Amino acid sequence: MSMTRHAEPAVATPPAPGPKETDGRTSERPLALRLLARPEVGVFLGAAAVYVFFLIAAPPVRDGGSMATILYQSSTIGIMALPVALLMIGGEFDLSAGVAVITSALTASMLSYQLTLNVWVGVIAALIVSLAVGFFNGWMVVKTGLPSFLVTLGTFLILQGANLAVTKLVTTNVATDDISNMDGFDQARKIFASSFDIGGVQVKITVFYWLVFAALATWVLLRTRYGNWIFAVGGNKDSARAVGVPVTFTKISLFMLVGVGAWFVGMHQLFTFNTVQSGEGVGQELIYIAAAVIGGCLLTGGYGSAIGPVFGAFMFGMVNQGIVFAGWNPDWFKAFLGVMLLGAVLINLWVRQSATRR
Amino acid sequence: MTKNESTTHGAILQDTPPQGEDGPIVELRNAGKSYGNIRALHGVSLSVYPGKVTCVLGDNGAGKSTLIKIISGLHQHTEGDFLVDGTAVRFSTPRDALDKGIATVYQDLATVPLMPVWRNFFLGSEMTKGPWPVRRLDIARMKATADQELRNMGIVLDNLEQPIGTLSGGQRQCVAIARAVYFGARVLILDEPTAALGVKQSGVVLKYIAAARDRGLGVIFITHNPHHAYMVGDHFSVLRLGTMELSADRSEVSLEELTNHMAGGAELAALKHELSQVRGVDVEELPEAEDLTAPVAGAPASEGKS
């Protein structure tokens, strides 16, 4: 705000677009090098390589239906990987993201079933709970200054325990009751878990959400003040504060954004399977973080993109399903992922170092 | 001063010219700061006038950092008064200070190394366009403005997209000063801007300090280099162990005296006496205590000597 006030005089005289003068000590770096410096380029090449590899190794992958399955698998990871990536660029982690998905689904399911309410009441309540969990995480991290690793590890354990305990208490079972006959279920399913027919192939709606959210996140990150602040609080929190960036707001809202992601994926699971297994979600948080890191986000914050994690999540879906389509033992999935993660991190490191050297 | 107090009721009138040409923009009266039972700063008085450079000198741990943290809004003073335009203020965040036109160029420059130069230039005060849901950064305008402002300061960068971390220390310092000047600072606080720089780059930075002064800004120049201070300073305050050891206008003090005060002043004379008893140490060139004629400021004389 204070900006616009001071900006006016300078704006009246935009510099003439004359020939660029330089001090002659630097030269323009080649286009290829500048491209490689983008955070998402490494993972794009990696994803393309994995895709080509399975196209050759597993012929069923070439089928449109298989691709739809792969994209669906990728989208359920990818939707969560986006806010997790933004949070990581903002310099923080959220280890509770995996179980928070289940917490959200359990809230919606049990609330509407036990009180015989329209499922939309449960859906809204779940959103509020997810936002509250995100706010708690963010508030604790900002106010105590503790590493988010510790704070969210605590939240992770709390939620994991509460998911099981509360579900057993309410339903005397480890899963919630089937809500498919409840009011509003069909409508909610249409929004969170329907499919589209594209050229004879059934594509899950989450794939579209995934791509739309990714486009939105990219725009926010690169074209808005808030996006600028995300990079700043992750890159150097103290500097950001000193020049007037609202660090507390930015960090807490990022945690709450992860809450929104958890809510969305939780609703998708609920309206796909009608019931929720209370013990699920453990370990998923690391998958999201891995997708973000493979996607070129710097673990220490301040660097990354929203497109990178899209390719990161696609690599996950591709490998996960590709192994099945290739007829290999699916036990190898995690091992494959580990190799991929290390490879991606090393490539990113090498790419960034060689591209920023001048 | 009293007249000013009745005209500004703490409201931020954005385009009001400084109250009275001669009044200080920022003034500290016997200000101090304690962290628990540690007294970091005590009885410090300082006035910053538009178009003047006020130098604050002192050794490590003298309280220079505490002093600027109070003025820039990172900390609050615990004793004395802090006045802006004659009105007592108490800043709770750096934003408050910025809104009053007090900009600080920190020792670490308050830049985000991995972000492009132009994003750093506008960080926290980004230009935007469009109505709310699609309000977005006005990137073309920001880049053009940043480029123009940097050129005005004599800095020509061929690529504003390069991360600011790839610039040299002097270049980053100049970007930070250009940023503060552009964002309408009336008071510029420079925290040891020449500390990590070579001779030539220090000269460039000193040139910008003079340029900022000539544009009518009040400059607080924190340094521990009396030579740099004397080149641009109009008023000199020397801090020692959290209190004012010297407060003198340029006309009242010579570079030599400044250097001596900076180096410990009276204590140095005592040290000279001790050293004279060590064989092989030539102390003839060092001044005696009586030679320090510049007025000793602030604290009562008895306290200064004890």
Q: How many other C-beta atoms lie within 10 A of the C-beta of residue A64? A: 13
Q: What is the average per-residue pLDDT within B118-144?
A: 88
Q: How far apart are CA A138 and CA A132, in angstroms?
A: 10
Distances (CA, A) of A246 to A238, A313, A350, B67, B124: 11, 31, 33, 24, 8
Q: How many other C-beta atoms lie within 10 A of the C-beta of residue A116? A: 8
Distances (CA, A) of A121 to A102, A126, A175: 17, 9, 20
Distances (CA, A) of A298 to A28, A81, B10, B16, B299: 26, 14, 44, 45, 51
Query: What distance in Å separates residue A112's CA from the closest CA in chain B?
Result: 33
In this predicted model, which residue has the larger pLDDT, B265 or B258?
B258
Q: B99–A13: do the CB atoms touch at under 8 Å?
A: no
Q: Does the CB of A14 have a partner CB in chain B at under 8 Å?
A: yes
The residues pairing with B104 across neighbouring beta strands, listed in sequence order, are B189
Q: Which two tokens stand for residue B218?
A: 């009040």
Q: Do A231 and A89 form a contact (C-beta atoms < 8 A)? A: yes
Cβ-based contacts of B145 with chain A (< 8 Å): 7, 10-11, 14
Q: How many other C-beta atoms lie within 10 A of the C-beta of residue B295? A: 12
The residues pairing with B103 across neighbouring beta strands, listed in sequence order, are B188
Q: Do A129 and A104 form a contact (C-beta atoms < 8 A)? A: yes
Q: What is the predicted pLDDT for the residue at B283?
A: 57
Q: Name the residue facing A22 among B110, B156, B183 (closest C-beta).
A: B156
Query: What distance in Å separates residue B162's CA from the closest CA in chain A?
Result: 9
Q: Do B37 and B200 form a contact (C-beta atoms < 8 A)? A: no
Q: A224–B122: do the CB atoms touch at under 8 Å?
A: no
Interface list for A 172-211 with B (CB within 8 A): none
pLDDT tens-digit profile, chain A (358 residues): 444 444 334 333 344 444 444 444 455 566 666 666 677 777 888 888 889 988 998 888 888 888 999 999 999 999 999 999 999 999 999 999 999 999 999 999 999 999 988 999 999 999 999 999 999 999 999 999 999 999 999 999 999 999 999 999 998 888 888 988 888 899 999 999 999 888 888 899 999 999 999 999 999 999 999 999 999 999 888 888 888 889 999 999 999 999 999 999 999 999 999 999 998 989 899 999 999 988 888 888 888 899 999 999 999 899 888 888 888 888 888 888 888 888 877 876 776 676 555 4
Q: Among positive and negative, which fits the CA dihedral B295, B300, B304, B305?
A: positive
The full set of domain ranges for chain A reads 42-50+60-349
Cβ-based contacts of B142 with chain A (< 8 Å): none
Cβ-based contacts of B95 with chain A (< 8 Å): 244
Query: What distance in Å separates residue A204's CA from the closest CA in chain B?
Result: 28
Buried b (16+ CB within 10 A) or exposed e, B86-102: bbebebeebbbbbbbbb
Counting Cβ atoms within 10 Å, is residue A158 exposed (0-12), middle (13-18) or buried (19+)? middle
Q: B136–A224: do the CB atoms touch at under 8 Å?
A: yes
Q: What is the predicted pLDDT for the residue at B243?
A: 84
Q: How far apart are CA A93 and CA A300, in angstroms?
A: 9
Positions of E strands within A215-320: none
Phi, psi of B189 (to 5 degrees): -105, 120
Q: How far apart are CA A291 and CA A82, in angstroms?
A: 9
* Three-class secondary structure of residue A277 per DSSP: strand
Q: Does the CB of A338 have a partner CB in chain B at under 8 Å?
A: no
Q: A242–B139: do the CB atoms touch at under 8 Å?
A: no
Q: Among positive and negative, which fits the CA dihedral B164, B165, B166, B172?
A: positive
Residue B16 scores a pLDDT above 70: no
Q: How far apart are CA B210 and CA A281, in angstroms?
A: 61
Cβ-based contacts of A238 with chain B (< 8 Å): 108, 110
Tally the residues of chain A: 358
pLDDT digits (tens, 9 = 90+) for B27-79: 888 888 888 888 888 888 888 999 899 999 887 778 888 888 888 888 888 88
Tell me, what amino acid is at A299? L
Nearest to B172 by CA among B152, B193, B199: B193
Query: What distance in Å separates residue A83's CA from the closest CA in chain B?
Result: 19
Q: B111–A302: do the CB atoms touch at under 8 Å?
A: no
Distances (CA, A) of A228 to A124, A295, B8, B124, B189: 30, 19, 35, 8, 25
Interface predicted TM-score (ipTM): 0.78
Cβ-based contacts of B166 with chain A (< 8 Å): 356, 358
Q: How far is CA A270 from the centre of its chain?
A: 19
Q: Does the CB of B293 have a partner CB in chain A at under 8 Å?
A: no
Q: Does the CB of B131 have a partner CB in chain A at under 8 Å?
A: no
Cβ-based contacts of A23 with chain B (< 8 Å): 156, 158
Q: B115–A239: do the CB atoms touch at under 8 Å?
A: no
Query: What distance in Å separates residue A214's CA from the closest CA in chain B?
Result: 16
Q: A241–B94: do the CB atoms touch at under 8 Å?
A: yes
Note the CATH number of domain A42-50+60-349.
1.10.3470
Query: What distance in Å separates residue B16's CA from the closest CA in chain A?
Result: 13
Q: A22–B184: do the CB atoms touch at under 8 Å?
A: no
Q: How far apart are CA A291 and CA A38, in angstroms?
A: 17
The residues pairing with B48 across neighbouring beta strands, listed in sequence order, are B26
- Check: pTM over 0.80? Answer yes or no: no
